[in-house]
Amino acid sequence: MIGRIQGELLGKYGNTVLIDVRGIGYEVDAPLSVLCELPGKGGGVTLYTHFVVREDAQQLYGFMSLQDRDFFRLLIKVNGVGPKMAVTIMSGMSVLELADCFMREDVTQLVKLPGVGKKTAERLVIEMKDKLKQLSLSGSIGEQDLLSAEQQPLNDYKARQSEAEAALLALGYKPAEAKKAIAAVASEGLSVEQIIRDALKGMVKG
């Protein structure tokens, strides 16, 4: 089991990051909230990981905190929720926001996440409400601080929009939905990560 990975960030591709660990490049899938916290290329990265082994693939999933990883592990225990869907769910809302939805049994907000139908949302509410008792949901769990535009500069505004749109498409949103959401929030002063995060918030609340 690979439980933690530390190294140099080589790049971000959709919701996948490439991390160099002593000459070996590890591809790690992560929620977009994690990408918002990562440094620029060449920066040091430490992620807590969940390792999935299947017959046809071996996949790492990364998180900024042990609490977020534990939340992910609870999600994938829900019937019908695999790792990919769990990453999508955690990309659309923070852990605190999701916990609030589960405790309030707010199916309406959950079905706005890509790939989450009404039956899945209802199952999430029923199963996660009990599972949340296993976590200590303090005010710090799942809160993600966005990097400022100065920390993550991208020279070309159109390139920022394109990168943000590609990330949303990787999560399962339709091209028209992604383009509309980005157009509603993007401005020249925002980083890619901020555009993505604001667009996701707009789609979930809209």
DSSP 77: T
Buried b (16+ CB within 10 A) or exposed e, 49-79: bbeeeeeeeebbbbbbbebbbbbbbbbbebe
Count of alpha carbons within 13 Å of 92, Cβ hemisphere only? Answer: 28
Is residue 149, in this structure, part of any structural domain at all?
Answer: no
What CA–CA distance (Å, rounded) separates 149 from 136?
32
189 pLDDT band, cuts 50/70/90, is: low
> How many residues in the chain?
206
Q: Within a domain: residue 40?
A: yes
Residue 1 DSSP one-character state: -
Query: What confidence tier does 118 reach under pLDDT thresholds 50, 70, 90?
Result: very high
Structurally, how many domains does the chain consist of? 3
Tens digit of each residue's pLDDT (9 = 90 or more) over 62-106:
999 988 999 999 999 998 899 999 999 998 888 888 888 888 889
pTM here is 0.67
Taking the C-alpha atoms of residue 108 and residue 105, their distance in angstroms, rounded to an integer, is: 9
Residue 147 domain-assigned (yes or no): no
Domain end marker among 134, 166, 190: 134
- 89, 196, 184: which is closest to 146 by C-alpha? 196
pLDDT of residue 30: 94
Q: Is residue 140 part of a domain?
A: no
CATH number at residue 116: 1.10.150.20
The CATH number covering residue 193 comes to 1.10.8.10
Find the domain containing 164 and state its range: 157-205
CA dihedral for 109, 171, 166, 198, sign (positive or negative): positive
- Are 122 and 163 members of one domain? no
